[in-house]
Structure 1
Amino acid sequence: MTYTLIAPNGKRNVVSPIVIYAATEKSAEQHLAKEIQRRLGHLYQWKINIQHITHEQIVLF
């Protein structure tokens, strides 16, 4: 999973790939979004990119 942080001034910062193990892609995305908002507040925006590898295991990077 990768994500891009967008600062209030428009500057973009792509964060290095991370691996998250979750039951579904949706739950991984929701947990990451909540954590980003908790840490950065409402001024930042973000875009999350997910790659689904298999049905049994979801690898996000």
Structure 2
Amino acid sequence: MRKHETDTGPRDGVASVKRDRIKELERENRQPRQANEILKKESDYFAQVELDRAFRK
């Protein structure tokens, strides 16, 4: 009943269609953020390996 009232307007809140879309967008946004975090860690690691190799010469 509350969901119907929210969706049709008499009750304050976010309509279920908008709420579902927000969840979908957050999920889509989470994936690139995780990929960026992995790439940043890999970049840091390889930069450190290069620095270590340069000092060993």
Taking structure 1 as the reference length, the TM-score comes to 0.29
Higher Cα radius of gyration: 2
TM-score if structure 2 supplies the norm length? 0.31
Counting helix residues as a fraction of each chain, which structure ranks higher?
Answer: 2
Q: Compare the two structures and name the one with the higher strand fraction.
A: 1
